[in-house]
Amino acid sequence: MRLDGKVALITGSASGIGRQTALLFAREGARIAAVDLSSDDNEETAALVRQAGGDVLTLRADVSKAADCQEMVAKTESHFGKLDVMFNNAGVMLSEDGDAVSTDEQVWDLTMAINVKGVFFGCKYGIPALRRAGGGSIINTASFVALVGAATPQLAYTASKGAVLSMTRELAVIHARENIRVNALCPGPLRTELLMKFLDTDEKRNRRLVHVPMGRFGEAEEMAKAVLYLASDESSYVTGTEFMVDGGLTAAYVTPE
């Protein structure tokens, strides 16, 4: 098993990429700290992990709050004895998010608090735990919109994911010689509840799909497989990357330097 003996903390584990990653990690031998703000949905994730034979600890945390993030790491170490993998995956995509003119300050602030500050706090408290374990892997969920503009305006979300990608690169350089790898998962458009709520009309969905060479939305399970590679020792020489899993979208629209 590719994560045998490892302990992984996953934020945003109640649904989507987080849930599918928790299930896949458990099947690959990891013990899971499943963290989410939604306790009921997170317990459903935990039940699925246990059905698959996995060992899981559920924790409730608001990743925009430092104390919550400090506590989730401390409880993971206390329960499992260490932390090897930190998947900073929790995020929001608010339907009120639009262009600079239409987006309210409150929408901007909430998006930044969860999507950017949440990753910062995860790293702030997760990195010392990884040091205590002798090293490990951090995966931060960014997005293809960190590299290209979104066809449907979502300025706060796009800016937040650009920040996550930049933060990932800098942390990767800072901690490279501590046996701590830091990479960004950059999903393309996915058929998840989060995106489908944002793209709430056929027109919006088709506008997004027309840019994807594969012609379909990705699946959360496909993202989980990419996270598994970044979490495992198979990616031992991979750090500071933007790991694109986007159906070819950025290959079609990003101009090489």
CA distances from 158 to 7, 52, 124, 139, 172 (A): 31, 35, 23, 18, 21
CA–CA gap between residue 128 and residue 131 (Å, rounded): 5
Helix-strand-coil split of the chain, %, nearest 5:
50, 15, 35
Return the H-helix or E-strand segment holding 195. helix 193-198
157 is an active site residue: yes
As a whole number of angstroms, the distance between CA 42 and CA 49 comes to 11
Catalytic residue among 157, 229, 237, 253: 157
Structure tokens at 9: 């903390």
Report the catalytic residues: 157
